[in-house]
């Protein structure tokens, strides 16, 4: 039986293109598994990962970003230690991406202004709680007052959420690709830390 091999199977340049293609699709398509990567960072001996929503990619500037609450734990960690990674997996394509780099917190700057303007009514709810995410609470709660919890706020009233809003960019230093295939796995590594992108194969 003939099993078709994708164009990128044995071609590092094609893999690199496919990588950005998958990220582009993850950004545009809410149903894509690449829409919700795991952002991983840590400090000293504690490391943690959490799902985030991919909000932007810039191939030229070699960066990708997501939105968050400035009061969240991950922000504290980034302030202490900026190296971070993003982990993606698309089960149907059998492709895993591990993106490593440095995280940068944008807060009340041009980047956050631009992103905040694009946020919709419902997604602003995430930034409207009085207490910091992860704070202890004596009762089960969303952390929102009834007006915000029931979405009974106007877009103008949601403007105060901007106080808690930040954009976390990851400046990419490397991308590792793993393609699982019955006909033989393929693993590739891209070093983006130099002017010319270094592309090489690894043993899967
Ligand atoms: C589907 C999904 C999407 C999420 N998107 C985001 C996001 O874009 N930004 C974010 O900060 N947290 C997001 N979260 C919540 C995080 O996974 C995490 O619980 C929260 O950010 C607190 O993490 P921290 O305490 O490590 O800072 C999302 C969770 C899920 C399940």
Centroid of ligand 1 to alpha carbon of 21 (angstroms) = 24
57-115 pLDDT per residue, tens: 999 999 999 999 999 999 999 999 999 999 999 999 999 999 999 999 999 999 999 99
What is the average pLDDT value for the chain, to the nearest integer?
96
Strand (E) or helix (H) holding 199: strand 198-202
Centroid of ligand 1 to alpha carbon of 50 (angstroms) = 6
pLDDT band at 3 (very low <50, low <70, confident <90, very high): low
Rounded-to-integer distance, Cα 190 and Cα 84, Å: 16
Q: What is the pLDDT of residue 4?
A: 79
Domain 12-202, second-level architecture: Roll (2.30)
Ligand 1 neighbour 52 (Cβ under 6 A): yes
Q: What is the pLDDT of residue 84?
A: 98
Which of 50, 115, 126, 169 maximizes ligand 1 atoms within 8 Å of its Cβ, making it the mutation to test the pocket? Answer: 50
Nearest of 60, 86, 59 to residue 168 by alpha carbon = 86
Residue 195 burial (C-beta neighbours within 10 Å; 0-12, 13-18, 19+): exposed
Which of 52, 77, 125 maximizes ligand 1 atoms within 8 Å of its Cβ, making it the mutation to test the pocket? Answer: 52
Domains in the chain: boundaries: 12-202
Share of the chain above pLDDT 70, in %: 99
Strand (E) or helix (H) holding 132: none
Q: How far is CA 160 from CA 68, 121, 124, 181, 190, in A?
A: 15, 12, 9, 49, 41
138-177 pLDDT per residue, tens: 999 999 999 999 999 999 999 999 999 999 999 999 999 9
Q: What is the pLDDT of residue 2?
A: 41
């Amino acid at each position: 039986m003939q099993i078709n091999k994708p164009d990128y199977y044995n071609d590092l340049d094609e893999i690199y293109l496919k990588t950005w293609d998958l990220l582009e699709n993850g950004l545009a398509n809410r149903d894509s598994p690449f829409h919700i990567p795991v952002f991983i960072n840590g400090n000293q001996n504690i490391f943690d990962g959490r799902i985030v929503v991919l909000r932007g990619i810039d191939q030229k500037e070699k960066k990708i970003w997501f939105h968050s609450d400035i009061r969240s734990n991950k922000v504290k960690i980034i302030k202490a230690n900026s190296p971070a990674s993003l982990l993606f997996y698309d089960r149907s394509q059998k492709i895993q991406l591990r993106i490593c780099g440095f995280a940068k917190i944008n807060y009340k700057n041009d980047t956050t202004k631009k992103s905040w303007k694009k946020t919709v009514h419902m997604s602003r709810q995430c930034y409207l709680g009085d207490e910091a995410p992860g704070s202890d609470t004596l009762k089960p709660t969303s952390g929102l007052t009834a007006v915000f919890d029931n979405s009974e706020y106007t877009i103008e009233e949601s403007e105060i959420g901007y106080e808690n809003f930040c954009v976390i960019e990851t400046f990419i230093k490397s991308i590792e690709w793993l393609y699982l295939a019955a006909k033989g796995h393929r693993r590739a590594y891209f070093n983006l830390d130099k002017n010319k992108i270094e592309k090489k194969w690894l043993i899967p």
